[in-house]
Amino acid sequence: MRTECISDFVSLGGKTYPCPISVAMDLVGGKWKAVILYHLQHGPKRFGELRRALISPTEAVLSNQLRQLERDGLVSREVFGSKPPVKTVYSLTEFGRTFLPALTALTEWGNRVVCERGRFE
């Protein structure tokens, strides 16, 4: 597989992008999507578990990001029960798991940056 763009434009899901990086960033870019995927890599989590792990995003932001990840096929959502309170569990799909090598590389790079320029707390 080539690592550079094969054509001037690429299409996915009815959208046109200038290159494959734009596709990737649309799917996992932004402040929270990759972080959510990071926290789901070792198994399913409930909404509250994700909320506690991420600390900063509001419930609305987290919910919106999870909806987008679900819409794009990276995350699956399973609801248990029919009456409130229901239990909702999120997990990576097979397609979502294909992002794990890139996520590992980003994590390693982030760790290196913190070691060289910051600190772990």
CATH code where residue 63 lies: 1.10.10.10
Cβ within 8 Å of residue 49, ≥6 positions away: none
Tell me if 113 is assigned to some domain. no
Is residue 57, in this structure, part of any structural domain at all? Answer: yes
Domains held by the chain: number: 1
Residue 1 lies in a domain: no
Query: Does 35 map to a domain?
Result: yes
Query: pTM of the entire structure?
Result: 0.89
For 46-105, write each residue's pLDDT tens digit: 999 999 999 889 999 999 999 999 999 999 999 999 888 889 999 999 999 999 999 999
* In a domain? residue 2: no
Query: What does the alpha-carbon distance between residue 82 and residue 84 come to, in Å, rounded to a whole number?
Result: 7
What is the domain extent for residue 46? 14-106
Q: Is the dihedral of CA 51, 45, 27, 110 positive or negative?
A: positive
Name the β-bridge partners of 79: 88
